[in-house]
Amino acid sequence: MASKLQSAGSMHDASYSEAFDSEKLDLVQEAFDAAWLELRTVGFSQNEATDGELRSLLGEKIMALAAAGEFDRNELVSRALKGFRGL
């Protein structure tokens, strides 16, 4: 995977690997990457100064959904992107 969720460091940090198996971590990472690409594609993030904050917010949303038991990649992406204006 090219990117990692920055809200809590690597997706494979010990705290996440204890909560999710590697398959679920990979799925969550894929959802994050797809959601981030969608934000970039629609021009939501054009400022490097705010990219870190946006990545953190997106990562937190996806991790919260996964922690609540959502592991459908498309649902993770769709639900995480709700609340971002213009999508």
pLDDT digit string, tens, across residues 12-58: 444 555 678 899 999 999 999 999 999 988 887 677 768 888 899 99
Q: 1-27 burial string, b = 16+ CB within 10 Å, else e?
A: eeebbbbeeebeeeebeeebeeeebeb
Rounded CA Rg of the chain: 12
Query: Which residues does 54 contact at the CB level (< 8 Å), separation at least 6?
Result: 39, 44, 45
pLDDT band at 6 (very low <50, low <70, confident <90, very high): very low
**pLDDT score of 1 more than 70:** no
Question: Which pLDDT score is estimated for 87?
Answer: 57
Written as six digits, the tokens of 42 are: 């629609």
Written as six digits, the tokens of 65 are: 């959904």
**What pTM, to 2 d.p., does this model score?**
0.75
